[in-house]
């Protein structure tokens, strides 16, 4: 029998990282000394105290059954408490304004199913985290991109969005600190988003996965700190990057109760909650967030500085991000994004991510993740100098 895939799968954009993935695999099999700056996954382990809590909780058989779909009340309370202590003016009702997720990716991808009918428009940033686009496609949306351009600080220009598109739009995604560009925004930008959303009746999904990874004293704001934000939107957060817990799958959506109720209804038909022992470990993590944060920021800031110094010394001028563990750099010479990624692997055994894989406006850029240790970053900069600039 010939297997036919549904149109929603055929509508997904081609996976542009395939070629670089294959080339990387070949290089590793050939035993080449590959330095992988491609993956946005923290290299450091989850802190011991969180692992210990998981172990302890998992020994209690009452954690072994199906979890409550809305998560433990004490987890929702812990999430609300963390939000309130981290962000001034964000009070959350743990009953209605906090929804635990199996990592924020699934919440981001599932949200459109609650609000979007075929043909409704969803606005997504370009370049952007792929699930904004794919989740909208699965819901049958007409996806319109908001280009993130360097001249605008990689913020969408809301004023340039076509009025007809805005009126047809039911949901929009924003993401600061931003993957892949490393850009940040201030509260004034969020205020503009709230008035735009109110004017056109648009649900805002703000992705705040990187608010805890910021440098030089900069403290990224939450969308919910802005007046009126809770009338129009929700914010996604995650323990993945903040606590080196990407594999554990625990995150949250917080904010507007009616929006969260819609997302919760979708999820109650798809998943059965987070393993209870992981919920208990997550509470412990959030309670001790301050203990982990300083060391993590120091680690990435040091790495950022070392790689930037090395690249700028080599002759590749690369901007300095205020947040996230990504360097978003313009390609040099005659390269396009894919060409530079390919050459980088062939000539320097370094894996980087071509920017066009995040959307058309990512063309002309590459992303490097600071998820390897200092020595490797120094080595990477030296190899780049030798291969391209001498």
Ligand X SMILES: *Cc1c(COP(=O)(O)O)cnc(C)c1O
User: In the complex, which residues of this chain contact ligand X (CB under 6 A)?
Assistant: 40, 103-105, 129, 175, 179, 207, 209, 238, 240-241, 246, 251
State the first-to-last Cα distance of the chain, in angstroms, to the nearest integer: 57
Q: State which residue, 130 or 310, has the beta carbon closest to ligand X.
A: 130
List 203's β-bridge partners, or say none: 171
340 contacts 363 by C-beta, under 8 angstroms: no
Closest CA to 259 of 287, 285, 224, 233: 233
For residue 343, the minimal CB distance to ligand X (Å) is 26
For residue 40, the minimal CB distance to ligand X (Å) is 6
For residue 160, the minimal CB distance to ligand X (Å) is 23
Q: State which residue, 139 or 282, has the beta carbon closest to ligand X.
A: 282
Q: State which residue, 41 or 363, has the beta carbon closest to ligand X.
A: 41
The string over 133-145, giving b where at least 16 C-beta atoms fall within 10 Å of a residue's C-beta and e elsewhere, is: bbbbbbbbbebbb
Q: State which residue, 209 or 311, has the beta carbon closest to ligand X.
A: 209
Taking the C-alpha atoms of residue 349 and residue 275, their distance in angstroms, rounded to an integer, is: 40
List 143's β-bridge partners, or say none: 122
Q: How many CA atoms lie within 13 A of 129 on its CB side?
A: 26
For residue 98, the minimal CB distance to ligand X (Å) is 15
For residue 129, the minimal CB distance to ligand X (Å) is 4
Taking the C-alpha atoms of residue 236 and residue 252, their distance in angstroms, rounded to an integer, is: 6
Taking the C-alpha atoms of residue 53 and residue 50, their distance in angstroms, rounded to an integer, is: 5
Taking the C-alpha atoms of residue 22 and residue 28, their distance in angstroms, rounded to an integer, is: 10
Q: State which residue, 156 or 310, has the beta carbon closest to ligand X.
A: 156
For residue 375, the minimal CB distance to ligand X (Å) is 25
**What are the two backbone dihedrals, phi and then psi, of residue 266, each rounded to the nearest 5 degrees?**
-60, -50
Q: State which residue, 237 or 383, has the beta carbon closest to ligand X.
A: 237
For residue 43, the minimal CB distance to ligand X (Å) is 14
Answer positive or negative: Cα dihedral of 193, 158, 132, 240: negative
Rounded (10°) angle between helices 337-348 and 18-29 = 0
For residue 134, the minimal CB distance to ligand X (Å) is 13
Taking the C-alpha atoms of residue 19 and residue 21, their distance in angstroms, rounded to an integer, is: 5
Q: State which residue, 47 or 103, has the beta carbon closest to ligand X.
A: 103
Q: State which residue, 40 or 233, has the beta carbon closest to ligand X.
A: 40
For residue 146, the minimal CB distance to ligand X (Å) is 15
Taking the C-alpha atoms of residue 165 and residue 162, their distance in angstroms, rounded to an integer, is: 5
- In order of 81, 139, 370, the CA distances from 327 in angstroms are 32, 32, 8
Q: State which residue, 251 or 354, has the beta carbon closest to ligand X.
A: 251
């Amino acid at each position: 029998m010939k297997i036919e895939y549904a149109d929603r799968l055929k509508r997904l954009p081609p996976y542009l990282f395939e070629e670089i993935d294959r080339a990387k695999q070949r290089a590793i099999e050939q035993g080449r000394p590959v330095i992988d700056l491609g993956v946005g996954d923290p290299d450091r382990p989850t802190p011991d105290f969180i692992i210990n809590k998981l172990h302890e909780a998992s020994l209690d058989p009452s954690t072994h059954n199906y979890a409550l779909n809305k998560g433990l009340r004490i987890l929702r309370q812990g999430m609300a408490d963390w939000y309130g202590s981290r962000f001034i003016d964000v009070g959350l009702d743990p009953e209605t304004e906090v929804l635990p997720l199996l990592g924020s990716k699934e919440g981001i991808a599932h949200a459109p199913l609650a609000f979007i009918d075929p043909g409704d428009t969803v606005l997504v940033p370009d370049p952007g985290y792929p699930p904004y686009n794919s989740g909208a496609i699965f819901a049958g949306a007409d996806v319109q991109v908001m280009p993130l351009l360097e001249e605008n600080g990689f913020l969408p220009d809301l004023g340039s969005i076509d009025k007809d598109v805005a009126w047809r739009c039911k949901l929009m995604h924003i993401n600061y600190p931003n993957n892949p560009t490393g850009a940040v925004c201030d509260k004034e930008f969020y205020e503009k988003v709230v008035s735009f959303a109110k004017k056109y009746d648009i649900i805002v999904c703000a992705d705040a996965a990187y608010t805890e990874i910021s440098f030089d004293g900069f403290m990224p704001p939450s969308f919910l700190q802005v007046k009126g934000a809770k009338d129009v939107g929700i914010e996604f957060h995650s323990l993945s990057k903040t606590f080196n817990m990407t594999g554990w799958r625990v995150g949250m959506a917080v904010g507007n109760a009616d929006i969260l109720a819609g997302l919760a209804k979708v999820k109650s038909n798809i998943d059965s909650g987070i393993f209870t022992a992981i919920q208990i470990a997550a509470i412990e993590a959030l309670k001790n967030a301050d203990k982990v944060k300083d060391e993590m920021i120091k680690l990435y800031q040091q790495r950022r500085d070392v790689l930037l110094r090395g690249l700028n010394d080599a002759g590749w001028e690369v901007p300095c991000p205020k947040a996230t563990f990504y360097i978003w750099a313009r390609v040099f010479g005659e390269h396009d994004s894919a060409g530079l990624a390919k050459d980088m692997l062939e000539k320097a055994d370094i894996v980087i991510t071509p920017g066009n894989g995040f959307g058309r406006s990512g063309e002309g850029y590459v992303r490097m993740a600071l998820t390897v240790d200092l020595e490797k970053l120094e080595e990477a900069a030296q190899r780049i100098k030798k291969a391209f600039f001498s």
